[in-house]
Structure 1
Amino acid sequence: MSRRSKWRAKREPGEHRDRWMITYADLITLLLIFFVIMYAMSNPDSGKYNVVTQSLQNTFNQSNSILEGGSGIVGETITKPTPPDNEEQNPTDSDTEPDVTDDDNQPLTEREKQFRSQEEELQNLFNTITQYIEDNSLNDQIFVADKPQGISITLSDRFLFDQGQAALKDNAAPILSKLASLFRNLNTVVSIEGHTDNVPIGTNSSYKDNWQLSGERALSILRFFLDQEKLNPDGFQYAGYADTRPTGDNSTEAGRQKNRRVEITVLRQLQP
């Protein structure tokens, strides 16, 4: 073998190892061409771009700025619009009358006057009953509270009824007569609700269940107001809820006693 052939045999393996760079360079070139074509195809719609730009400029150039005499976003001075020629402004009126009327100075509507009058009546009712309870030491028998729906007067069943009965006791008349005198001139609705504990009615009772007993107890008080005190029936409503709305724990005697009650609520509700 000649000396040239030996030299060529030694050089060929190194040349084969570097040929991958040619393929890599071709790949990079093709990727560059691809992205150039993609960019050329993604030119924005100049017509739509101009429409959007003009719309934004018109919006920012409007003269109805919040600040009188300020400058807009694009630097134009904001001025107050000039009123039409056919509208005459009286400088005397503008100097003496404010542009915005204070709500506190607005005259009350007839409905608002009625509500305010009713709130005064309810507050007086609350104070009168509270004082009556204190004067007669009835704190353990009568409870009064000012609730969102109205003035709530809770009467314990201990001085209203015998156990398991709905007929009023004789000593219940004075407090009910006092309440009737306070309800007589109220322009609202009085709701009477009967409640019991969860102990079932005995087999010897004349009432079927606690639903009937609670309703009959509420009705007995309503009858007293209508028949004995001659109050207007249009201002009353009654219902019995049995043991569905407890205020105490029915697992204890004290809780059951608290649940056996009649609630009389003077509602925050104007009569039509």
Structure 2
Amino acid sequence: MSGHGGKRGKKHEEHEEHENHERWAVSYADMMTVLMALFLVLFAMSNVDQKKYLELKTSLAEGFGKETMPSDGGSGIVDGSTNSVVDVGNGPNSGTGTTPSTTTKATAQQAASQEVSSLQELQQRVEEKLEAQGLQDQVTTTITERGLVISVAANNIFFANGSARIEAGGLSVLDTIAPLLLSEAEPIAVEGHANNLAMSSGSQYANNWDLSSARASSVLLRLLDDGVDKSRLKAVGYGDAHPLFPDGDPRAVEGNRRVDIVLESSSPEDVKALLPETAEAAKGGAAPAAPSIETGAVPEIGADAAPTTH
């Protein structure tokens, strides 16, 4: 009994668990498997079936009105620039080999040529009417990117010194011009301009802005009386903010005093930008006959003009 009891009391010795020093290899293998799968997916995405790709583009183009669509991608994912187009059928450039930008430029040039032709016809009629009345020395006309500009010298024949009341000679000029504007549909901007001399004391106008605005309004009202539709007219005074000549120029005092009647072009901006050079080309490269807001010349006012007029 004692022998058996002593045998049962002997403790069973537990063996120490063997440590696996290669578990990192399992994690490494899993990572490599994931990377391999990723590269396979990327590779599969980079190989596009060109035939199916072109069919997809053609289908999309037909859905959007059979316009041409880019065939080459841009320099990046966000960059949408392309180097060529694919002809997908009956678009405006089908079979011509002409890119949309070239077509747009040609269309703009054609529109500019047509508008210049119409403006030059009106310009000629204005000059002929004024010459018939002996008033040609008071007005200059030019075609700018804004349209046809009829520039009236604001000398003592048109306005008295420091006054916005139109003199008899000025009324004759406006009454000659107005009937020619009735057949046109474009809006008309009447813009008053002044030199940089300060107003004389006692003047009813606070400054040149006030005076130029009043003169523009007087011209607008006369055109309105002559039958020009009020919905086409607007008036603004620019003071001395848009001179034809710099302040040091001897012509600045008289030359910057003017009222511009602008028959404004309603064409897109790319067509407007072509109007001046198209007009010059139509005249055979002759020098501009009249000023614009930026550059140009005005007729001689006369030696007896007072140098302090506004």
- Per the normalisation by structure 2, the TM-score is 0.52
Letter in 1 for 2:199: I
Alignment partner of 1:181: what SS? Answer: helix
Asked if residue 257 in structure 1 is aligned to residue 247 in structure 2, the reply is no
* 8 Å contact from structure 1 (residues 248, 255) kept in 2: yes
Question: Post-superposition shift, 1:53?
Answer: 2.2
* 8 Å contact from structure 2 (residues 130, 176) kept in 1: no
1:12 match: none
Q: Return the alpha-carbon distance in structure 2 between the equivalents of residues 132 and 196 of structure 1.
A: 27
Q: Indicate how the Cα distance of structure 1 residues 206 and 169 shifts in structure 2: closer, same or farther if over 3 A, else same.
A: same
Please show how residues 80-229 of structure 1 align to structure 2 within 5 Å. Answer: 99-102=89-92, 121-132=118-129, 140-158=137-155, 159-227=157-225, 229=226
Q: Structure 1 vs Structure 2: percent identity of aligned residues?
A: 23
Question: Post-superposition shift, 1:121?
Answer: 4.2
Q: Return the alpha-carbon distance in structure 1 between the equivalents of residues 127 and 52 of structure 2.
A: 59
* 8 Å contact from structure 1 (residues 141, 155) kept in 2: yes
Letter in 2 for 1:181: P
Aligned length: 192
Q: Return the alpha-carbon distance in structure 2 between the equivalents of residues 132 and 230 of structure 1.
A: 18
Question: Post-superposition shift, 1:100?
Answer: 1.6
Alignment partner of 1:63: what SS? Answer: helix
2:38 match: 48
* 8 Å contact from structure 1 (residues 156, 261) kept in 2: yes
* 8 Å contact from structure 1 (residues 201, 208) kept in 2: yes
> Given the alignment, which residue of 48, 51, 54 partners 1:63?
51
Asked if residue 240 in structure 1 is aligned to residue 241 in structure 2, the reply is no
- Superposed CA deviations along residues 24-55 of structure 1, whole A, max 9, x for unmatched, are xxxxxxxxxxxxxxxx9996822222222222
Q: Return the alpha-carbon distance in structure 2 between the equivalents of residues 124 and 117 of structure 1.
A: 11
2:296 match: none
Question: Post-superposition shift, 1:134?
Answer: 6.2
Q: Return the alpha-carbon distance in structure 1 between the equivalents of residues 248 and 241 of structure 2.
A: 14
Q: Return the alpha-carbon distance in structure 1 between the equivalents of residues 193 and 265 of structure 2.
A: 22
Q: Return the alpha-carbon distance in structure 2 between the equivalents of residues 50 and 219 of structure 1.
A: 76
* 8 Å contact from structure 1 (residues 118, 187) kept in 2: no
Alignment partner of 2:247: what SS? Answer: coil
Letter in 2 for 1:258: G
Q: Return the alpha-carbon distance in structure 1 between the equivalents of residues 223 and 255 of structure 2.
A: 24
Q: Indicate how the Cα distance of structure 1 residues 103 and 127 shifts in structure 2: closer, same or farther if over 3 A, else same.
A: farther
Q: Return the alpha-carbon distance in structure 1 between the equivalents of residues 182 and 113 of structure 2.
A: 19
Q: Indicate how the Cα distance of structure 1 residues 268 and 103 shifts in structure 2: closer, same or farther if over 3 A, else same.
A: farther
Answer 1 or 2: which has greater helix percent: 1
Q: Indicate how the Cα distance of structure 1 residues 55 and 144 shifts in structure 2: closer, same or farther if over 3 A, else same.
A: same
Q: Indicate how the Cα distance of structure 1 residues 254 and 137 shifts in structure 2: closer, same or farther if over 3 A, else same.
A: farther
Question: Post-superposition shift, 1:137?
Answer: 7.0
Q: Return the alpha-carbon distance in structure 1 between the equivalents of residues 160 and 232 of structure 2.
A: 28
* 8 Å contact from structure 1 (residues 197, 256) kept in 2: yes
RMSD over aligned CA atoms reads 3.7
* 8 Å contact from structure 1 (residues 195, 242) kept in 2: yes
> Where does structure 1 differ by over 6 angstroms across 4 or more consecutive aligned residues?
115-119, 134-137
Consecutive unaligned residues in structure 1, runs of 5 or more: 1-39, 69-79, 82-97, 105-114
Q: Return the alpha-carbon distance in structure 1 between the equivalents of residues 132 and 236 of structure 2.
A: 30
Letter in 2 for 1:63: K
1:26 match: none
